Structure 1
């Protein structure tokens, strides 16, 4: 028996989309991904630029293969709003580009020190070689961003495939400027505090030892929480589960907590205020993201979700 047809009225939201159809015909069992494909095909428009909402309650109609028209709350004669989100770029591409900045900048500053820091009072051939602490700083930061690149390519599953193209400039400015140029310039300078450390004795230098420990624990913890989050969503699905265990029962986003722990370790190794500036800016942003995620979890899962008092740092914030 053929499924009952559902005719949806289409209205634009925001700037007009040429050739946007006035209606779409689907069935209750069709997926919302098929609705997106139909509208994009009729309008000859990039599907990633479309955002569809239910005109009745304003709720998003996701572009998902596992959500039906009926499950999205759409029925015959319902009205949907279609918005042009503007030029888009893949989330994965943005992540790769933003992490690539510090991944390249730190080795460049480290190996090109004689050219970057040369001055009339400091002849390049008399510049002291990098200290062991400066070398360790460069290694830890490079390892951190190599891990981030690997996770972007092989671990993360994104609920949305694209974001506005302008975000690549905003996100890259944060990482290239603050984590890249800002930390690199001050850490590898011949006048930096780290330059004066001639040897590294883990048994005697407790700050460096603690920094290494925090870095290792933070990176391992952060990687594992990303695995937990990845496994909540099947490949190609937008459905999200409730994360549990390994810190998720204490704070909303333990992945952010472990990120801060790892950077606290880097700070103890670089011992540069530039690293502390990056931690403060990035930490504040992560706390804001985590608070928004906590609100979404409570709205989406209701009583099934164990509300958290702390978003990122246990017993603090």
Structure 2
């Protein structure tokens, strides 16, 4: 027996949206993504600028091809509210811009040392090593952004790129670079080689472990899909987010090479932010996968947090 199409009442939420239709006719078996397409096409807006919620309770309707209109609870003559989120920018572009800051600033300050610090001294071996490690770290980040990561959200508000980029451009880029390549920096002094070797080893372990975790997370999501599976593997049995654990290990390694307070400050800020994200991720896994997910006691550091 054929199911009759539904007529949904459409109204703007917040500022008016030019061309927004007053009604949309859609089949109950159509996906929620089709609803987004119809409204975006009618209003000549980008799908990514729209947020659609149910008029009855304000709950969001996901732009998903895996959820049908019937499953959303919408019925004939139901009301949907449409909000214009404003200009958007792709998450992939955001990450590329974020990591570009340190990639540009570290070589720039390193090679402009004679001008910036008014010195004729050549950079020390540890300063050169710090440049190499930090550059390799962010080259890897850029590679993962372009070829590894699959994003659950396609875009974010364009205005947020400045806030997001500030963390990397200022703290990982300008702040670390200025204090690391200075003639008076700890990296300009002779250090115990054993400590440096341990730092390099931690950096390598952290980078390889982080890359492996990112590959595992990538393979949980099909191309073009926002659906994901439960992460598995040795490191994922220890903590919720082993990618954050290995990220921390890599930066501890960098810090053991340059002993710069600026690196320690960035590390503390990064760990603080990753701790918040990891806890939210654990709660999301528990809610999304229920009893099928093995709950973790520790989010980033085994036996600690």
Q: What TM-score bracket applies, with the shorter chain setting the length?
A: over 0.9
| RMSD, aligned α-carbons | 1.6
- Structure 2 CA distance for aligned equivalents of residues 249 and 7 of structure 1: 48
In the other structure, the counterpart of 1:206 is 194
Contact 1:66 1:238 in 2 (8 A): no
Note if contact 1:89-1:165 (Cα within 8 Å) is conserved in structure 2. yes
> Deviating runs (4+, > 4 A) in structure 1?
none
Task: Give the Cα separation in 2 of the matches to 1:242 and 1:77.
Answer: 38
Per the normalisation by structure 2, the TM-score is: 0.95
* Distance across 2 between alignment mates of 1:242 and 1:55: 33
Q: How does 1:272-311 map to 2 (within 5 A)?
A: 272-311=260-299
- TM-score (norm: length of structure 1): 0.92
Match of 1:240 in 2: 228
Conserved 8 A contact 2:114-2:121: no
In structure 1, what is the equivalent of residue 69 of structure 2?
Answer: 69
Is residue 138 of structure 2 the alignment partner of residue 145 of structure 1?
A: yes
Change (3 A) 1:33 1:283: same
Name the CA distance, whole Å, in 1 between partners of 2:21 and 2:241.
Answer: 42
Partner residue, 2:44: 44
1:2 Cα offset (Å): 5.0
Partner of 1:218: 206
Q: Secondary structure at the match of 1:175?
A: helix
What are the equivalent positions in structure 2 for 1:239-258 lying under 5 Å apart? 239-258=227-246
Cross-structure match for 1:265? 253
Would the alpha carbon gap of residues 169 and 38 (structure 1) be closer, same or farther in structure 2, given more than 3 Å must change?
same
Q: Measure the CA separation in 2 of the matches of 1:295 and 1:9.
A: 35
Tell me what 1:192 maps to: 185
2:121 corresponds to which residue? 128
1-10 or 42-51, larger mean C-alpha shift: 1-10
How much does 1:87 deviate? 1.4
